[in-house]
Each structure stands twice: as C-alpha cells, then as structure tokens.
Amino acid sequence: MNLENPLFFVSVLVALILLVTGFVLLKFPPKTINYLYGYRTSSSMKSQERWDFAQNYSAKEMIKFGYIFLVVSVFGLIFHLDEMITMIVVLSILIMGVLVLFLRVERAIKLKFGAKDQSA
C-alpha cells in the first residue's frame, strides 16, 4: 500500500477540501449576496432566490464530488503508474471534476429559474 502515490494523496486531499467546504456551506450558507463567501457566479448573484438555491445546491454537489474523489483515491492504492502519468491523470480528474461541478450547478440554476430574473 503506497500512501505517497499522487493519485491517492491528491484525491484524498481534494475529497477532504470538497467535503469540508460542502458541509460548511450547507451548515453556514451566506445569507446575502456577496463577493467574498459562497458559490459566486453571475447567474447565482442575479437575485436572492437564485443565490440561496445556488448555495444549497452547490454545497450538496461538493459533498457528492468529495465522496467521488474518495472512491478515486482507492485507485491510487491499487494502481502504481509512472509518477508523471499519475500526476497528469490526477490533474485531469481534478480539472474535469471542478468543471463538471460548475456545469451541474449552473445547469440546475438555469433549469430552476430559466429566463426569470434576466434583467437583474
């Protein structure tokens, strides 16, 4: 069992960050639209209703992705590839995970609110 494998180490680290961030955001969501704390995109900041939905939904998605990264970390214990290939795989998974997380939240906002609040 190689705990120094980047696939294991980075995946666990990302999983912990997503899980902690998701649980904190779920438990202590920002009450008002701000530029400091929370899920902040132009679509989530168009109205208070969108903001509240985005905070809740993104927190739940972060928690899901945190668990997914924990599962991915198990592969780091099983597979032992070249270090450079492992880092490329880890970074690709990380970038894809963050991109999918962002796209899922934005899609949920669009599906829930559609063209509503477009002028705000």
Per residue in 99-118, pLDDT (tens digit) is 999 999 999 999 999 866 55
For residue 118 the two structure tokens come to: 């477009």
**Alpha carbons 67 and 70: distance in angstroms, whole number:** 5
What phi, psi does 58 have (nearest 5°)?
A: -65, -35
Task: Tell me the pLDDT tens digit for each residue of 9-64.
Answer: 888 999 999 999 999 999 999 999 998 989 999 999 999 999 999 999 999 999 99
- Residue 45 · residue 2 · CB < 8 Å: no
So what's the pLDDT on residue 87? Answer: 84
Q: What is the pLDDT of residues 60-105, one digit of tens each?
A: 999 999 999 999 888 888 888 888 888 898 889 999 999 999 999 9
Task: For residue 96, report the phi and psi dihedrals to the nearest 5 degrees.
Answer: -65, -40
